[in-house]
Amino acid sequence: MARSRAVYSALRAGGTEAAGKEPARTTGKARGDLAERLNFDLNEEHRATESLVREFAAREVAPHIRENDAAKVFDRAILTGLGELGILGISVPERYGGAGLDYISLGLACEELEYVDTSLRVIMSVHAGLNSFSLLAWGSEAQKDRYLRPQAEGKQIATYGLTEPDAGSDAVGIRATARRDGPDYVLTGEKHWISLAEIADNFLVIAWTDPDKRARRDHSGLSAFIVERSFPGFESGNMTHKWGIRAGNTGWFRMHDVRVPAENRLGDEGEGFKIAMFALDQGRYTVAAGATGLIRACRDESVRWARSRTTFGQEIGRHQLVKQMIANMERDYEVSRLLWLRAGELKNRGRRNTRETSLAKWVSTVASERAASDAIQIHGSYGYSDEYPVGRFWRNSKGAVIYEGTREIHTLMQADYALGYRRDRPTRVSLPAPEEH
Ligand SMILES: Cc1cc2nc3c(=O)[nH]c(=O)nc-3n(C[C@H](O)[C@H](O)[C@H](O)COP(=O)(O)OP(=O)(O)OC[C@H]3O[C@@H](n4cnc5c(N)ncnc54)[C@H](O)[C@@H]3O)c2cc1C
């Protein structure tokens, strides 16, 4: 049975203790009336997922995270654990080996994972958000069978390779090329700052297939490919100087004339840019939900400290300026959560959500950086060390303000939407709503 075994058994056992009496489903046939849209109750399946992931992260990861972060160790056992729970394929349809849960469940899982450490949520962002959903939406049945199924089952791990030494925000500035040669494409180029670069089995790679269009910076000359680590000419390494998300793996890979069969091209030739941007719509959603969990972690650690530390004869939580920082965290947590839930609800309805997902990602990641900085401030000198987790939270928070669209890129996007300079046009392919699974 492909569907998350653990979620199923929790539901069979009558749900979790947290489960509500009247589950208010957000999946099922599309509903449009305002009352239902304003219903933010989690259903039984959502609560079961939330509890399951929360318990897993607290039991399997939290006890070792400080040590692994300090030693820069990526613990592969976490992948096994996430695979056994069914989380790696959480919103992939059951017929492709996934758990078939909706996108709110995915967001909840990301929030719970990042509550413990950003490195856990990053796994979901690249494996599920950027890679697997791209295969689900754009892949052929043969590609889904060969790659999506083992990825959803947690038997293979996947990531996404867009960024290069000379191009990040400016995706059209990449140099990697894919030259057609008989039944294959021959891929050459280097990608860096790639999450799970040394761990993943499969890579979604964006490269130029049309040199003339490259010269004109016409993004319809880009194509997307599924590249296996095992293909000859593929090489990867670690980025050892990274100072955040240290319990995660981040690295580079090089392709030296890697022969990729034409059947591994995702989508049509020339659709690489659209696929790269589609992938970001899903990856950013996981980042937004995760950053929301990080704000909650900052709030909880800050409240704990503010209730135990005393100065001038009272708990520091009694001082107005400390209250201000805690209040900001509370506000930012609630705002960020509503924003990612809205984006998730749009995904559940199969509606375009590039604008809403960008807003959720932008607001939550910037707020998480502020929350982590204030959490250190509340801890005073104790926060300025690895003795307490808030320093790790701050180091981790910064990455998400850079990847999957920097703060500045999302600022420009939101301004352009408001000004009417940017409009989302219909795409050939969209993320299937859960009821279509
Ligand atoms: C921990 C981590 C994990 C990552 N994982 C992945 C991954 O798995 N796969 C992947 O493909 N990439 C990954 N990345 C790369 C990431 O997506 C890029 O770093 C990001 O897109 C920014 O690109 P850049 O670093 O080249 O910065 P640049 O694009 O060079 O930007 C530098 C600065 O200029 C600003 N800037 C750029 N253009 C504009 C503009 N038009 N207007 C205003 N300001 C502008 C930026 O906001 C930024 O402040 C990861 C990065 C990190 C840190």
- Give all domains of the chain, ordered by start, each with its CATH number: 5-157 (1.10.540.10), 159-273 (2.40.110.10), 277-436 (1.20.140.10)
Q: Tell me: pLDDT of 8 over 50.
A: no
Mean pLDDT score of the chain, rounded to an integer?
93
CB atoms within 10 A of CB 77: 10
The preferred substitution site among 163, 245, 284 for testing ligand 1, maximizing ligand atoms within 8 Å of CB, is 163
How far is the centre of ligand 1, averaged over its atoms, from the C-alpha of 403 (Å)?
5
Residue 91 has pLDDT above 50, yes or no: yes
Output the residue whose Cα is nearest ligand 1's atom 38. Answer: 169
With a 6 Å cutoff on the Cβ, whether 283 touches ligand 1 is: no
Q: Which pLDDT tens digit goes with each residue over 111-163?
A: 999 999 999 999 999 999 999 999 999 999 999 999 999 999 999 999 999 99
* Calpha distance 422→355 (Å, rounded): 10
> Cβ contacts of residue 202 below 8 Å, gap of 6+?
131, 147, 151, 156, 157, 158, 159, 226, 227, 228, 229
Dump pLDDT digits (tens) for 350-408.
999 999 999 999 999 999 999 999 999 999 999 999 999 999 999 999 999 999 999 99
| Residue nearest atom 22 of ligand 1, based on CA coordinates | 168
Section 57-85 average pLDDT: 97
Burial class of residue 318, CB neighbours in 10 A (0-12, 13-18, 19+): middle
Does 25 have pLDDT greater than 90? no
Residue 31 has pLDDT above 50, yes or no: no
| 131 CB near ligand 1 (under 6 Å) | no
118 Cβ below 6 A of ligand 1:
no
Quick check: 290 and 106 in contact, CB under 8 A?
Answer: no
- pLDDT at position 104 over 90: yes
Contact 413, 405 (CB under 8 A): yes
Contact 82, 122 (CB under 8 A): no
Q: Of 306, 305, 309, which is closest to residue 317 (Cα–Cα)?
A: 306
Place of tokens 């690249």: 126
Q: How many residues belong to the chain? A: 437
Q: Residue 217: is it exposed, middle or buried by C-beta count within 10 angstroms (0-12/13-18/19+)?
A: exposed
Q: Is 379 in contact with 305 (CB distance < 8 Å)?
A: yes
Cβ–ligand 1 distance for 27 under 6 Å, the answer no
Overall average pLDDT of the 284-311 stretch: 98
Q: Which atom of ligand 1 is nearest to the CA of 191?
A: 11
Q: Which one is predicted more confidently, 1 or 279?
A: 279
- Three-state DSSP at 387 gives coil
pLDDT tier, 435 (very low <50, low <70, confident <90, very high otherwise): confident
Q: What is the pLDDT of residue 436?
A: 63
- Mapped onto helix, strand or coil, the DSSP state of residue 244 is coil
Q: Which two tokens stand for residue 223?
A: 């194509």
Share of residues in the chain with pLDDT > 70 (%): 91
CA of 347 to the centre of ligand 1 (A): 25
Q: Give mean pLDDT, residues 248-272.
A: 98
Q: Is 185 in the pocket of ligand 1 (CB under 6 A)?
A: no
| CA–centroid distance, residue 138 to ligand 1 (Å) | 25
Q: Is 47 exposed, middle or buried (0-12, 13-18, 19+ CB in 10 A)?
A: buried
Our measurement of the distance from residue 427's CA atom to the centroid of its chain's CA atoms, rounded to an integer in Å, reads 22
Residue 15's pLDDT is 39
- CB-based burial label for 398 (10 Å; 0-12, 13-18, 19+): middle
Q: What is the rounded average pLDDT of the residues 4-14?
A: 49
CA-based end-to-end distance of the chain: 16
Please indicate whether residue 400 or residue 427 has the higher confidence score (pLDDT).
Answer: 400
- Token pair belonging to 215: 């010269």
State if residue 161 touches ligand 1 by the CB under 6 angstroms criterion.
yes
Would you say residue 34 has pLDDT above 70?
A: no
- How buried is 182 (Cβ within 10 angstroms: 0-12 exposed, 13-18 middle, 19+ buried)? exposed
CA of 416 to the centre of ligand 1 (A): 19
As a whole number of angstroms, the distance between CA 285 and CA 355 comes to 11
Q: Distance, CA 398 to ligand 1 centroid (Å)?
A: 12
Q: Is the pLDDT of residue 175 over 80?
A: yes
pLDDT at 41: 82
Cβ(171)–Cβ(219) below 8 Å: yes
Integer-rounded Cα Rg, in Å, for the chain is 21
pLDDT at 65 over 50: yes
Indicate if the pLDDT at residue 32 is higher than 60: no
| Cut 0.95: pTM above it | no
The active-site residue, picked from 235, 404, 435, 436, is: 404
